[in-house]
Structure 1
Amino acid sequence: MGFTVKELLQTEEFEKMTLLCGEKGLNNEIKGVTIIEAPDIVKFINGGELLLTGLYAFKSCTVDEFRGYIYELEKKKISGLVLKRGRVVEQVDDKIALLEEFAEANAIPVFEVPFEISFQAIMCLIMERLFNEEVTQLKYYKTTHDNFMALSLSGDTRTNPVADILDMLDKLIRNPVALFNQNMSCCGTSSEEITEFELLDNVKKYEPGIFTNYRYMRQKGEHVQYIVQIHLNVGVKMYLVITEKVSTFNLMDCIAVESAIVALQYEFSRKFAVSELEKKFQNDILCNILSGKVSSAEELKKSTSLLGIDIDGYYRVLVFGVTNEGKKKKDINEKIRHINLLEEALERQIRDVKIHKELDKVVVVQEVNPDFTQIEQRGQLKEMLERVQSYIEKQNKYLKAKAGAGKVVQGILHLPETYKEANDAFAFADIAGDIAEDGGSQIMLFSDLGIFKLLCQLDDPEQLLEYVPESLQKLYDYKKPQREDLITTLKTYLERNQNLSKTAQDLFMHYKTAAYRIEKIAKITGMDFDNANEMLAVRIGLVVYKMIENYNKRGL
C-alpha cells in the first residue's frame, strides 16, 4: 500500500484538517493530487487523485448542474477531497450536502481546511511523498496546465475569461496578479488595489529557475513585484505583474505563471479572432449605410438590428485621423500601424459607438443627446479628442489626432449627410487654428466652418485662388528667401489682432524686427492694415492657400 489518506491526515503540517465525512475511505491510496479550479477539470483526472477545491469553480452553476459534475467525478474513483470555504458560492450549503452524500456513498473522505492554508502547500507535500523533485515539478505543471486549459475551453460560457484566469493564478500563488498592455493600461486584475503599473528605475532581470520563453523582471517599490513580459499570439506586448503581498514568490509559482500565460494567449487569440470577424461584419454594414447604399426600409431595419442601434435615434458622424509630426517621409506600413493604434484608442476611450476603419482614417457613429447645446457638444467632443490623444501619445509622442464632426441628424437614413459634413470638417481640422478662435483646435465641427462650407464644394485650386485677395497673392508670389518668414509673421500678426508686442513674443523676436517685417509686407503687397474688410479677406485667403496646399498634397 502506498501513501494513504490516513497518513496525510497524520502529518504535522495538516493537523488542522477536519474530517467531514467518508471515514470508511481513509485507507484509500493517494496516487496523485490536483486542484479543481474549473468545472471541466474532471475530464483530465485519471483516477486515485486527492482533489482540492474551494467550490469556486462551481460558484454560478445550479444544484442540478453540480450533481452532473459529481456524477462524472464518480467514474474517476478519486481517493479523497479537501474542501476550503471562504469564497462566495451560490447555494453553497446545498452543494456541500450533495458532495457529502456522494462521499458517504462511495467511501471517499472529505476534509475541510482553514482558508489560510495554501492548496499549493498541500500539493507540494503530497507530491514530495509520491515523486522526486523533478517529477513533482512536472506533475505540478500538468495540474496547473490542465486547470487553466479547462478554464480556457469553457471561455464561451464566462463573462470575463481573462479575469477568471488571473483570479485562478492569484489563488494558486497567493499573491495578487494583474495584466497590463504595452501602454500600461490595466486589462485585468485579481485585486482592485492593483490597477496601475510602471517600470521602476530599479527593475532588473530575474531568473525564474525554469526553462522559459518569456522575460522575467523584478522591481521593488511599496512591495516587490515580479513582471513577466509576454508577446501574445495577436502581436501585442503585455506585462503580467505579480505583487508579493501575501507569500514569497517561488519556483512553483513560476510554473503556475507559465501555465496561466498559455491560457491567456489562447484566450486573447480567441477574442481577437471573434473581434476581427465582428469588426469586418460591422464595417461592411456601416460602409453601406454611410455611402447611402442602404435605401429600402426593410434592409435598413435589418442593418440597424444587426448593429444593435436605434433606427430613429439621434446620431453624429465623426471622422478621426492621425498625423506623425516627427516624420516627413510617408511609410504605408507605418501609416497602417498608426491607424490601428487610433482605432484601439477610440475603442478604449469612447464607449457605445460604432467604428468603421478605412485606410487613412477611422469613422465613428455616435448616438447623441439632441437636447445638448452647441457649447456642450463642442466641449464633449474636445474632451473626447483629448482622451484619444493622451492614449496614443503613450506609444508615440509625435502622433497627433485630429477629427471632423458632422451635424446631429435623426434617423440612420440621414447618416450619409453627416458623414459628408464630417469628412469636409476633417479636411479642415489641420487648418482649424486659422479659423477657430482658440487658435489650436484639432477638432472641427462642420457647423463652425461658416463661409468655408461653400469652399468645401470646390476641388479645383484655380477656382479656390479666386477667393484670395490680390494683395496676398503678391506675397505668395514673392520669390525671395524671406517669403516664408513674412507669411508666418502675417499670420501671427492677424491672429494677435495686429498687436506687434504679442506677435514678437510669439515668434521669439525683437519688437523692431516684427515691425520691420509688417512694414515690408505692406510695401510688397500694398495691404492696408487699417481696412477691416481687407484684413478679413486676407484672413480668408490664408486659409484658402492652406486648402490649396492640402489639395496639391493629395494630388488633386
Structure 2
Amino acid sequence: MGFTVAELLRTENLAKMKLLCGKKGIQKEIKGVTIIEAPDIVKFINGGELLLTGLYAFKYCSTAEFAEYIEEIQKKQISGLIIKRGRKVEEAEKKIGLLQEFADRYDIPLVEVPFEISFQKIMCFVMENIFNEEVTKLKYFKTTHDNFTALSLSQGHKKNPVGDILDMLNKLIRNPVALYNQNMTCYAAANDQIIDFQLSEDAKEYDPGTITNYRYMRQEGENVQYIVQIRLNVGVQMYLVITERDSIFNMMDCIAVENAIVALQYEFSRKFAVSELEKKYQNDILNNLLNGKVTSSGELKKSTALLGMDPDGFYRIIVFGVANEGRKQKNINEKLYHLNYLEEAVKQHMTGAKIHRDMEKLVVIMTADPDQTQVECRKELKEIRNLIQDAVTRQNKKLKVKAGVGKMVEGIIHLQESYKEADDAFSFIDIAGDISEEGTSYLMMFSDLGIFKLLCQLNDPALLLEYVPESLQKLYNYKKPQQEDLVATLKTYLNYNQNLSKTAQDLYVHYKTAAYRIEKIAKITGMDFNNANEMLAVRIGLVVYKMIEDYNKK
C-alpha cells in the first residue's frame, strides 16, 4: 500500500487538519495531488488524486451546477478532498454541505485545513511521499500546467483573465505577483495588490534552477524582487514581478511561474486576435468617416453608435508619426514596430480618443472644447505631445514624435475637414523650422501655416515652382559643390534677420566665411537683401522648394 489519506492526517508538519466526513475512506491510496482552480481541471484528472480547493473556482456557479460538477469528479475515483474557507464564494456553506453529502455517500475523506496553510506546501509534502525528487518536480510541473491550462480554457466568461492567472500564481507561490509593461506601468496584479516596482540598474541575473526560455533577474530593496522578462506572442515585452514578502522564493515556485507565463502568452494571443478584429472593424468605420465615405444619415448614426461617439459633438483631428533621427528607416517592419510604441503612448496619454492607423501614421480623433482658446489648445496639445515623446523615448531615444493638428469641427460628419488640415500640417513638420518662430518644431497646427494653407492645395511641383522667385531658382540651379552650403547659409541668414555674426555662430564658421557666402549668393542670384518684399518672397520660396522636394520623394 502506498501513501494514504490516513498517513497524511497523522503528519505533524500539517497540523490542524480536520476530517469533516468520509472516515471510511481514509485508507485510500493517494496516487496524485492537484488544486482545483478551474472547473475544467476535471478533464485532466487521471484517477486516485487528492484534490485541494478553496471553492474559488466555483465562486459564481449555482448550487445545482456545483452538484453536477461533484458527480463528474466522482467518475474519476478520487482519493480525497481538502478544502479551506476564507475566500468570498457565493453560497459557500451550501456548497460545502453538498461536498459533505457527496463524501459520506461515496466514502471520500473530506478534510478541512486552516486558511493560512498553503496548498503548495500540502502538494509538495504529498508528492515527496509518493514520488522521488525528480518525479516530484515533473508531477508538480504537470499539476500546475494542467491547472493553468484549465483556467485558460474556462476564461470565456471571466472579466479579468490576466488577473485570474496572477491570482492563481499568487496562491501557488504565496507572494505578491504583478505584471508590468515595457513602460514599467502595472498592467495587472494578483488580488489588485500593486507593489512598488522599478527595474534597478543593479538587478542581477538569476538562475531559476530549471530549464527556461525566459530571463530571470533578482534585485534587493525593502523586499527582494524576482523579475522575469518575457516577450509575449504578440511582440509585447513585459515583466512578471514576484516580491519575496511572505515566503522564500524557490525552484518549485519557478516551475509555477513557467506555467503561468505560458497561460499569459495564450491569453494575450487570444486578446490580441480579438482586438485585431475589433480594430479592423473600427478602422474601417473610422476610415469611412475621415475620408467622407459615409453616404447616408442611417449609416452615420450606426457608425457613431458602434464607436460610442456623439454625432453632434465637437472634435479635432491630430495626425501623429515618428521619425528616427539616428538613421533612415528603410525596413517597413521597423517602422511599424516604432509605430506600436507611439500607439501605446497615445493610448496612455489620450484616454478615450479614437485611433486610426493609416500606414505609417496614427490619426487620432479627440473630443474638443468649444470654449477653449487657440492659445489654450496649443498649450494643451504641446504638453500631450511632450508626454507622448517621453514615453516613446523610454523605448528608443532616437525616435521623435511629430504631430499635425486640424481645426475643431462640430459634428462627426465634418471630421473629413479637420483630417485634411491635420494631414497637411503634418506634412509641414519637416519644414516647420523655416516658418516657425521657435525654430525646429514637432507640432504644427494648420491654423499657423498662414499663406502656406493655400499652397497645400497644390500638388503639382511645376505649379509650386511658380511661387519661387527667379533669383532663388538661380541659386538652386547653381551646379557647384558649394551650392548646399550657400542654400544653408541663406536660410540661416534670413532666420537671423540678416545678422552675420549670429549666422556665423549658428553655422560654426568664421564671420568672414559667412560674409563671403552672402556676397557669393548676391553675385549668383542678383538678390537685393535691402528689398524687404524680395526677401519675403525668397523666404516663401525656400519653403516651397522644400515642399517640391517632399512631393518628388513620394
Same-fold call, TM cutoff 0.5: yes
1:242 aligned onto 2:242: yes
Aligned to 2:536: 536
Report deviation, 1:521. 4.7
* Paired letter, 2:246: V
Measured in 2, the distance between the counterparts of 1:124 and 1:45 equals 18
Moved more, 91-100 or 165-174: 91-100
The answer to whether the aligner puts 1:404 opposite 2:404 as a matched pair is yes
Q: What do residues 467-525 of structure 1 show as CA deviations (whole Å, max 9, x unaligned)?
A: 23444444434444444334334433443455555544444455565555556555655
**Corresponding residue for residue 547 of structure 2:** 547
Partners of 1:499 and 1:278 lie apart in 2 by 57
Which deviates further from its counterpart, 295-304 or 466-475? 466-475
Aligned to 1:419: 419
- 1:214-249 Cα distance to aligned partner (Å, 9 max, x none): 034333331444343444333444443333333222
1:129 aligns with 2:132: no
Question: Structure 2: which 5+ residue stretches go unaligned?
Answer: none
Inter-CA distance 376–60: structure 2 relative to 1 (3 Å threshold)? farther
Query: Structure 1 residues 497 and 169 mapped into 2: Cα distance closer, same or farther (>3 Å)?
Result: farther
- Aligned partner of residue 322 in structure 1, secondary structure: strand
Cα distance between partner residues in 1 of 2:58 and 2:499: 74
Aligned-residue offset at 1:456? 0.4
Q: Give the share of equivalent positions with the same residue, in percent.
A: 68
Distance in 2, matches of 1:515 and 1:543, equals: 23
Per-residue deviation, residues 402-459 of structure 1 (Å, max 9, x unmatched): 1222222222222222222222111112222222333232122222222111000111
**Mean alpha-carbon deviation: is it higher for 499-508 or for 385-394?**
499-508
Q: For the residues of structure 2 that align with 1:71 and 1:450, how far apart are their CA atoms?
A: 78
Q: Which moved more, 1:250-259 or 1:462-471?
A: 462-471
8 Å contact kept, 1:178–1:195: no
Residue 214 of structure 2 corresponds to 215
Determine the C-alpha separation between the residues in 2 that align with 1:221 and 1:13: 31
Report the Cα offset of residue 363 of structure 1.
2.0
Does the CA contact (< 8 Å) of 2:52 and 2:83 recur in 1? yes
Change (3 A) 1:425 1:247: same
Matched residue, 2:201 = 200
Determine the C-alpha separation between the residues in 2 that align with 1:515 and 1:86: 85
Residue equivalent to 1:492: 492
- Offset, 1:332: 3.5
Q: Would the alpha carbon gap of residues 76 and 440 (structure 1) be closer, same or farther in structure 2, given more than 3 Å must change?
A: same
Partner Cα distance (1:313, 1:102) in 2: 60
C-alpha distance in 2, partners of 1:188/1:356? 26
Letter in 2 for 1:209: G
Q: Is the 8 A contact 2:33 2:49 kept in 1?
A: yes
Q: How far apart, in 2, do the equivalents of 1:14 and 1:328 lie? A: 65
Distance in 1, Cα, partners of 2:116 & 2:236: 36
Partner secondary structure for residue 211 of structure 1: coil
What residue in structure 2 maps to residue 15 of structure 1?
15
Q: 1:444 to 1:26 in 2, by over 3 A?
A: same
Query: What does residue 280 of structure 1 align with?
Result: 280
TM-score (norm 1): 0.88
Aligned positions, number: 552
State the partner residue of 2:179: 179
| 8 Å Cα contact 1:169/1:177 also seen in 2 | yes
Instruction: Describe the superposition over 1:74-98 as per-residue Cα deviations: whole angstroms up to 9, x where unpaired.
Output: 5545443333344444554555455
Q: Distance in 1 between matches of 2:292 and 2:456?
A: 20
Distance of 1:490 and 1:196 partners within structure 2:
52
* 1:5 matched to 2:9: no
Aligned to 1:335: 335
| Other-structure match for 2:451 | 451
Distance 1:28 1:428 in 2: 79
* Offset, 1:138: 2.2
| CA-CA distance at 1:43 after TM superposition | 3.5
Deviation at 1:15, TM superposition (A): 1.4
Residue identity matched to 2:328: K
2:56 maps to what in 1? 56
2: CA distance between counterparts of 1:91 and 1:117?
23
Contact kept, 8 Å, 1:200 with 1:219, in 2: the verdict is no
Q: Where in structure 2 are the equivalents of 1:339-488 lying within 5 Å?
A: 339-488=339-488
TM-score (ref. length: structure 2): 0.88
1:325 partnered with 2:330: no
Retained in 1: the 8 A contact 2:329–2:335?
no
CA 1:326–1:12: 2 relative to 1, 3 Å: same
Using a 3 Å threshold, how does the CA distance of structure 1 residues 112 and 373 change in structure 2: closer, same or farther? farther
In 1, the alpha carbon distance for the partners of 2:437 and 2:96 equals 70
Q: Which moved more, 1:538-547 or 1:74-83?
A: 74-83
* Paired letter, 1:253: D
Alignment check: 8 A CA contact 2:214 2:228 kept: yes
Relative to 1, partners in 2 of residues 1:95 and 1:433: Cα closer, same or farther, differing over 3 Å? farther
The worse-fitting range, judged by mean Cα deviation, of 92-101 and 445-454 is 92-101
Q: Indicate the residue corresponding to 2:253 in structure 1.
A: 253
Q: CA RMSD in A?
A: 3.1
Preserved CA contact (<8 Å) 2:17 2:113: yes
Give the distance between the partners of 2:183 and 2:469, measured in 1 at CA. 48
Matched residue SS, 1:386: helix
State the shift of 1:255 in Å: 1.6
Q: Which residue identity is paired with 1:3?
A: F
